[in-house]
Amino acid sequence: MANSIGKNIQISSFGESHGPMVGVVIDGFPSGFAIDEAQIQAELKRRKPGQSSVSTSRQEADEFSIVSGVFEGKTTGSPIAILIPNTNQAPKDYDALKDLYRPGHADFTYQKKYGHRDHRGGGRSSARITAAWVAAGALCKQYLAQTAHITIQAVVAQIGHIEVDNIFELDWQTAENNSVRCPHPAMALAMQTAIETTAAEGDSLGGQIACRIQNCPVGLGEPVFDKLNADLAKAIFSINAVKGLSFGSGFEGAKRKGSQNNDSGAGNSNHDGGITGGISNGKDICLQVAFKPTSSIALPQTMLQQNGETITHQIQGRHDPCVVPRAVPIVEAMCAITLMDHLLLNLKYKF
């Protein structure tokens, strides 16, 4: 089914960018867990538009309400439903797009698939709906931390041509101190400047996010088709604009010899990125995610029209010149949802 993910905890997403709200239903969350609403709000704040000079100027309060599954501050075992109203819509921005297919967006594919679409801001295909995933991921993060001390952090490793080397060897504690969420302060500044300059040109930038999951116990992940890396991959590729993913030494490791790339049982190397044979091996789970540059740019582009002809058009609206910094909490959320799914699954393994 299109809009649910997870087997042991299931996240069902709904809502569109220009409907009244986006939301999520979380099914399978254990009962009796005292939730921290402030932490959910803090995660939403990390994702929300209008945070800084590198994001869209669109403002959304992104205030959520929990309408099911929590009683007197604790989960009840019932499905947890979270609603996040849409408050700052400018649907008029999209009137010109009714019969146009924006390059890089799902306009054309939705129209062909469904024969009918909400053209206002992409509707269902908008990254707006990831707000609800972040709320769900925040709950999962709390659970992972309290029950298993598992922590998840993502940072920006690359914006355009500015790329941090050996990103996993830096200290990531200061990453949230700058608007691009890069743990290398000097490169963070360069990234911020690059985004601002590119934005001023009406253009956009892509980049990479690095994510590290710490304290994951040995044994999460299924051996064949629900490998931990496979389920993380499915979750990560669900995020808008993701075009690449690697674990551990990834594409670089493909160039190596076995004697160079094997993690000896004794040493500190982590070429496997914390997952061996689809199962967590107790080391940090390390992954990198490539995002394409934002498709919505403020330059004239050739576009396909509904009638099959092309036209040169300049898209209006308030768009992110680079989505990568705002995608950091989304990557964390999708990892958290996947980890929690496997943590719950793992409870029933050994006789």
State which of positions 226-265 bind a copy of itself (CB under 8 A): 226-227, 229-238, 240, 242-251, 253-265
Which region, left, alpha or beta, applies to residue 110 given φ > 0 means left and ψ of -120 to 50 means alpha?
alpha
Which residues are registered as beta bridge partners of 68? 81
Contacts (CB under 8 A) with a copy of itself, residues 31-70: 31-33, 65, 67-69
Q: Is 317 in the site for a copy of itself (CB under 8 A)?
A: no
Q: Is 28 in the site for a copy of itself (CB under 8 A)?
A: yes
Cβ nearer to a copy of itself, comparing 19 with 329 = 19
Residue 167 CA neighbour count, 13 Å, CB half: 26
Q: Is 160 in the site for a copy of itself (CB under 8 A)?
A: yes
Structure tokens at 12: 């069902």
Signed CA dihedral, 249, 255, 260, 263: sign only: positive
Contacts (CB under 8 A) with a copy of itself, residues 172-201: 198
Cα angle vertex 241, ends 212, 12, to 5°?
A: 75
**At closest approach, how far in Å is the CB of 97 from a copy of itself?**
13
Structure tokens at 346: 């793992």
Q: Which of 160, 151, 210, 144 is nearest to 181 (CA)?
A: 210
**At closest approach, how far in Å is the CB of 266 from a copy of itself?**
4
Phi, psi of 327 (to 5 degrees): -80, -10
Contacts (CB under 8 A) with a copy of itself, residues 71-90: 71, 74-81
Q: Is 316 in the site for a copy of itself (CB under 8 A)?
A: no
Structure tokens at 65: 């309400």
Phi, psi of 204 (to 5 degrees): -140, 165
Question: d(Cα 159, Cα 291) in Å, to the nearest integer?
Answer: 9
Cβ nearer to a copy of itself, comparing 50 with 253 = 253
Q: Near a copy of itself by CB under 8 A, which window of 10-18, 42-50, 174-182, 185-193? A: 10-18
Kindly state the number of chain residues that form the binding site for a copy of itself, as judged by CB under 8 A.
Answer: 149
Cβ nearer to a copy of itself, comparing 89 with 174 = 89
Among 222, 270, 317, 318, binds a copy of itself (CB under 8 A): 222
Contacts (CB under 8 A) with a copy of itself, residues 264-283: 264-267, 271-273, 276-282
Question: d(Cα 76, Cα 84) in Å, to the nearest integer?
Answer: 21
Task: Give yes or no for a contact between 299 and 104, defined as CB atoms under 8 angstroms apart.
Answer: no
Contacts (CB under 8 A) with a copy of itself, residues 328-347: 344-347
Cβ nearer to a copy of itself, comparing 174 with 219 = 219
Contacts (CB under 8 A) with a copy of itself, residues 86-145: 101, 103-106, 108-110, 112-118, 122-125, 129, 143
